[in-house]
Amino acid sequence: MGIVKKMTFGYFIIIFVPVITFGLYYYNQLNSSLMEEYARGKQQLLTQAHASLQMDLLQIESNYGLFQYNTNLVGYLNNDYRSEVEYAYNYLRNIRPIMSYVHSGNSNIGDIIIYKRDSAVFTVPQKIVPMENLDQDLQVQIARLKPGEGGWFTVPHEQEYASLAYYQNMYADQFTKHVGVLAVELNDHMLQKFESTVSNEGRSAVYLLPALQPFDHLAELQEMPDNIRERIINSADGYFHEGNNGMIVNSLTVDKLDLRVTVVSQASEVFHNMQSQRIVLAVSIAGLLLLLSAIYYWLASSVTRRILTLARHMRKVGADNFRILEHGQDQDEIGYLTFSYNRMLQRMDELVNTAQRSELLRKEAAYKVLQAQIKPHFLYNTLETIRMLAEKNEDQEVAEITFSFGQLMRYSLSHEREDTRLKEEIRNVAHYLNIHKTRLGPRLAFDFNVDEQATGLACPRFILQPLVENSVIHGIAPASRGGSITLTVEQDAEQVTITIADNGAGMQEERLEMIRLVLAGRADRDQLETSEGGHGLYNVSERVKAYYGGDTRLHIESAEGEGTVITLYLNKQRVQSDAEIVDRR
């Protein structure tokens, strides 16, 4: 078999068949996944609508207590009044306001009717009527209700949607005497609203079926395919979908109303944009085939070209030419061969120039060591000279700020270890504040309240200075009135608490909430960045968490115009031995 036939055969096996197979598989999976997702979401919507309906029904049922425990209404039904005038007066004064209140308080209530058992009780048309006005079958069902128990029944009206009403018996003389029946009728459109909610604006067919009636006798289901109808009859509450005919069925039983809600959706109507997706999928597969075909041709032709390039470069290599071959980041055998070849050229070039390079590196290293030794000592000596000159000239303010600056530099540059003791960190903060005190004058005041027994705690270097700097720059300096900073150190058996409080400018609520989210790990730290920086708080928080572990944390409170309080809670149990190490340093 020639190379052309082999490449053609490989093209069909490697590219054409897999792409077509993947396209068909992906389409079926996409269709099934969309139907499953829609059916699950529809079931959740049905459950939520059912819960909302249950709450509405429960709210209506709860109104029974307003009537049963109203002594005026019970006395009215118990025939406690002697004349029609007394009945009318009691109704207008005490009973009708309750009915109006209940009716206006719930938009789902259509009407409120009380059926009286005693014929001598005064009749109010359409409000307090004789028991004979109630359907006989309905009277029998209501009579079976126990005291304190109500029920929902269909009102015998000829309407498009079933009219429902809640019935519950009313009693007098401590529930020993049956005096009437309370009926709260719903609006005619309550179930219509429920149906509109679950039908997705009419895209799905909704069937409100009696839960106790055999499904095989329901005319509403006769138009469905036999397999779908059979599954609806036999399935419990839930959902299923049929990929062959594209139907999605969701079912749920409303126990209070003895209704079973069945929602039938057609996938073609729900996913009306699937046709466009099919077109997109077909175009994508065609484009993928073209792309893979081009890649296949490029790979086949690139093998020979890369080998020839490598051979030409090898002919040019000589004693004075170790230039490597430029190539991509290919990971195949030719790419590995080119990479190894370049490594060999680099090694040869290194061996030729080893002596010269080693000498240059040695001299540079010696220079850097000498420079590292000279720079800090030269800086300390210069600052000490300035301080001595200031004292000689009796310029105490310059001497003090020079001393503080020198101590800051010594603390920053003279330690090789990353940790220290808390007392040294506090001393460094004092020097830092002395420098700003000189700059801000009476606008800055500071005070330290430190438990000396807690200052031996081992701690990372520079965990307090960024926090104090934040208070000075963002709290005290912007405020025209200035302010004060208080550093408090306390301890208990488990932790050391460090509080840095200022009464400066504070910060906005949005900025404070964003900082808290970043410190808690629920937001990106880049959101802290401002024109003056912004990572100091985050860096201190992460360093103390890594160093102390446990429930170590940084907490911040602030109010705009009132100041800021930053609190560090340090778990000292983990670093008890570290304090000894620092002391022995």
On the question of pLDDT at 488 being above 90, the answer is yes
Residue 266 contacts residue 247 (beta carbons within 8 Å): yes
Cβ neighbourhood burial of 585 (10 Å; 0-12, 13-18, 19+): exposed
Helix (H) or strand (E) holding 33, with range, is helix 17-62
DSSP state for residue 529 in the 8-state scheme: -
For residue 502, give every residue at least 6 positions away whose Cβ sits within 8 Å of its Cβ, in sequence order, or none: 471, 475, 476, 483, 484, 485, 486, 563, 564, 565
What's the mean pLDDT when you consider all of the chain? 77
Over residues 304-348, the pLDDT tens digits come to: 566 667 677 777 776 566 677 776 666 677 676 777 877 787 777
For the chain, helix, strand, coil in percent to 5 are: 55, 20, 25
The confidence band for 248, taking pLDDT boundaries of 50, 70 and 90, is: confident
Write down the residue that tokens 């460094």 correspond to: 428
Q: Tell me the C-alpha distance between 456 and 427, whole Å.
A: 13
Q: Angle at Cα 387 formed by Cα 471 and Cα 467, nearest 5°?
A: 15
Q: Tell me the C-alpha distance between 365 and 250, whole Å.
A: 78
If you average pLDDT over residues 526-554, what whole number do you get?
78
Q: Tell me the C-alpha distance between 445 and 456, whole Å.
A: 26
Parallel/antiparallel/unpaired status of strands 444-450 and 483-491: parallel
Q: Both tokens of residue 37?
A: 């997702």
Alpha helix segments (H runs only) across 184-327: 190-198, 226-234, 267-270, 274-316
Over residues 19-62, the pLDDT tens digits come to: 778 777 777 777 777 777 878 888 888 888 888 888 888 888 88
Residue 157 contacts residue 183 (beta carbons within 8 Å): no
First to last CA, the chain: 80
Check residue 502 and give its pLDDT. 92
Residue 507 contacts residue 474 (beta carbons within 8 Å): yes
The torsion angles phi and psi of 464, rounded to 5 degrees, stand at: -100, -35
For residue 547, give every residue at least 6 positions away whose Cβ sits within 8 Å of its Cβ, in sequence order, or none: 419, 459, 460, 575
pLDDT: which is higher, 415 or 42:
42
Least confident of 12-16, 477-481, 576-580: 576-580
